[in-house]
Structure formats: C-alpha cells, structure tokens
Amino acid sequence: MWQDLEPVGRAGSGGYRRFAWSREDHTLREWFAGECARRGLDLVEDRMGNQWAWWGDPDAAPGQGIAIGSHLDSVPDGGAYDGPLGVVSALAVVDQLRAAGIEPSRPLAVVNFVDEEGARFGVACAGSRVITGAMSPERALSLTDADGTTMADALTAAGRDPSQIGRDDETLRRVGSFVELHVEQGRGLVDLGVPVAVASDIWPHGRWRFDFPGEANHAGTTRLEDRRDAMLGYADLVLGARKEAQQRGCVATVGKVAVTPGGVNAIPSHVTGWLDSRGPDEEAVRAAIADLTTRAADFGASVTEESWTATTHFDQPLSDRLRGVLSSDAELSVPVLGTGAGHDAGILASAGVPSAMLFVRNPTGVSHSPEEFAERDDCHAGVDALTACVTDLVSP
Ligand SMILES: [Zn+2]
C-alpha cells in the first residue's frame, strides 16, 4: 500500500501536496475505494464525501459499528505518515482479522475522512465538522482557497453536488466507537522509548488574526520619528507570543503574515499576523491571548478570534479498554499521551461519538514536514495494537 501511495502528490521537497478535492485527492480516494473493493467492503460516502467502507451491514446493528481509519490529505509539503498511516493500518487490520479467521460480531468500517488538514480552505477537519454539525454547510461552501475558488466550486469541479453536504446523523448513528491511529507529532514516545501510546486528550487550541495599522511612506525620506510602521507591532507580537507561551507552558506560532504594500522600500501601512496557540489548559491559553491583545492594543491593533476549540477529552471507557487490551501484552508498555494537534477523532468525540486514538512513534518528532517518519517495525506494532483493540471491540 505504501508503494501505491508513495508517488501521489509528491513535491520537489520530498513532502506531499494532497489537498482536498484536488486531482491528487481524487487519485487517493480512488485508491482507497479500490483497496476496499479488493477486500469486499461496502463503500458508502456520507453527505460530505467521507468514505466509509463497511464489513457487515451497519444498519443491522445501529450504534454498534466500530470505525477505524484517518485521512489521506496533507498540509503543503507534509509528511507521508500523517493521515495515511491510520488509513493503511486500518486496511491492514482487516487483513489481519481475515487471516486470523475472525468474523466481527458487529459491523466494522474503515474510514477515510476528507479535508482533515484544511490546507486548501483553511478549516481543519472540515469533513468531520460538517457531518457532525460543528460547521454549517453554508460556511463550508463559502470557504475559499488561495486561488479564490470556493469549496462549493471545488466540489462541483470534483463532480459533486454542493447542495448535498451537511450534517449526517444517519452516518454517525452507525458508529458506536471510532479509533484513529496516527503517527505521533511530537517526541513523547521517542523519549519514553516505546512504539505505541493511547491518547488522553487534545489540547485546547485557537487561531487569532492581529491587524496592525500603519501609514505607507518612503523608506528613505521619512524620519524615524515621523513613521507609523505597522511592522513594529507585528514584531512585538511575534516575540511576545513566544515569551507568553514559554511562561505559561503553552505553544504559540505566528506562521503566516501579510504585509501591505509589501515593498522593500516602503514603510508597511498594514500588517496582518495569524497566531496559533495551544496549551494543556484553557486558562493558560486564554491568559496568554489576553496579554498579547493588551500589548497589541498599544500599537492600535485589532484582534479577531478566528477559531477556538476547547479541550477535547477522548472517551474514557474506550481509552481505558484499549489500554487494558494493549497492556495485557507484556511486551508492550502503553503510555497515555496528550497532544497539541487536532484530529477527526477529536471532532467526533466532541459530537458525542465515543472516540479514542493510538499514536505510533515518530523518531524525528517532526510532523507537517518531509522529516516526519515512522520505522517499519513501529508501523507493524501500530497495526498489531490496532488489531488487538479491534479484535476486542468486535468480539461478541
Ligand atoms: Zn493527521
């Protein structure tokens, strides 16, 4: 399966560019459909185009289905494992169950969520947000990519009917539990020296837009004391965010900036900086943002909260059960790790679908970059762990 996926959307950097509803995305969806057909699974798409491949009739036992999987899209120049590891592992689990002669006593689905990274339209987990009602279809359809293409247009271009998207309770009703396996996006498992962990929760996280006003003028003839340089407030934001995050045990990133007019010899008349901040508790993140807002006000800035997601707790009984299953294998000590990254499993958990996650060690600790990696043995350990969990969940 990795050989099939390896060339799809490969960029010159060695990373991947697999954006929602693009040609590459289409290729990946077709590949997924083919793998599911090869295994005799019944593929159904929900109202947003997330692909659910069922083993067993999901409507024969409503609310009893077990879903496993992840996503196949990527960030710009993303790694090979973020998303695909979960999908490939889920398909491998089906193979392992078949090889072991296990016939699930309840329906089992392999799922490929669409548009998890939000790389094209700016909202992460768009596929799961729409079907759970966390994002309205109106908002989703009006999102635009960098070329000005709306999601509605992109869906139409992909041969889909935009008017069909929306909350999909019928699909969610089928899912009793969702387990997403994912490459770890930090160094937790590297430091612990073990291949697999169970997730505890997802840190609260948000995005804020800071708009700093200024006045365009000549970079040579305008005296320093006469300037209103929008870049100074932005510079203060970048350094302040780092300091606040450090003091409060959070993380903060200003990874995107827009400068007007954007000339080397022109004093910036307007600078917009986008801040992403996350932390182990909501109060810490909120306090950091409050202080940064006060600092920015000294530069006349306005601050807009573009998104906020509270702490996501995965389902405790399900997580405990997975940990119990994995801990019974004495070879494997299974830690519980929190994460600063968002996932479809988090969106489903927030919507009341019992959800849990497994993380697989990433020796570089790097993600959203071509440096992201997972050793073959660790990938196998992940598949074995997920197989053990699913075997337990689908047992009578
Ligand atoms: Zn991911």
Q: Calculate mean pLDDT across residues 357-375.
A: 96
Whole-angstrom CA distances from 361 to 15, 136, 197, 334 are 19, 35, 8, 12
User: Can you say how many angstroms the Cα of residue 166 is from the centroid of all Cα atoms in its chain?
Assistant: 20
CA of 251 to the centre of ligand 1 (A): 19
CA of 347 to the centre of ligand 1 (A): 13
CA of 185 to the centre of ligand 1 (A): 9
Q: Give the tens place of pLDDT for each residue, 25-57.
A: 999 999 999 999 999 999 999 999 999 999 999
Between CA 125 and CA 344 the distance in angstroms is: 6
Q: Calculate mean pLDDT across residues 195-202.
A: 94
Q: Calculate mean pLDDT across residues 319-343.
A: 86
Q: Give the tens place of pLDDT for each residue, 344-356.
A: 999 999 999 999 9
| Model confidence band, residue 125 (pLDDT cutoffs 50, 70, 90) | very high
Q: Give the tens place of pLDDT for each residue, 261-282.
A: 999 999 999 999 999 999 989 9
What percent of the chain has a predicted confidence (pLDDT) above 70?
99
| Per-residue pLDDT at 326 exceeds 70 | yes
Between CA 74 and CA 17 the distance in angstroms is: 6
- In this prediction, residue 330 carries a pLDDT of 57
CA of 121 to the centre of ligand 1 (A): 16
| Model confidence band, residue 333 (pLDDT cutoffs 50, 70, 90) | confident
In whole numbers, what is the pLDDT of the chain averaged over residues? 96
Burial letters 254-283, b for 16+ CB under 10 A, else e = beeeebeeeeeeebbbbbbbbbbbbbbebe
| Per-residue pLDDT at 198 exceeds 60 | yes
CA of 327 to the centre of ligand 1 (A): 25
- In this prediction, residue 158 carries a pLDDT of 95
Q: Give the tens place of pLDDT for each residue, 93-115.
A: 999 999 999 999 999 999 999 99
Q: Which residues have CB less than 5 Å away from ligand 1 (the ion)?
A: 82-83
| Per-residue pLDDT at 297 exceeds 90 | yes
Kindly give the residue spans of alpha helices, DSSP state H, lying in the chain.
2-5, 23-38, 84-99, 126-132, 137-142, 151-157, 169-173, 188-192, 230-248, 282-297, 316-327, 344-350, 376-393
Positive or negative: CA dihedral 321, 326, 328, 334: negative
| Per-residue pLDDT at 332 exceeds 70 | no
Between CA 348 and CA 352 the distance in angstroms is: 6
CA of 38 to the centre of ligand 1 (A): 25
- In this prediction, residue 306 carries a pLDDT of 86
Q: Calculate mean pLDDT across residues 308-328.
A: 92
Instruction: Look up the pTM and report it.
Output: 0.88
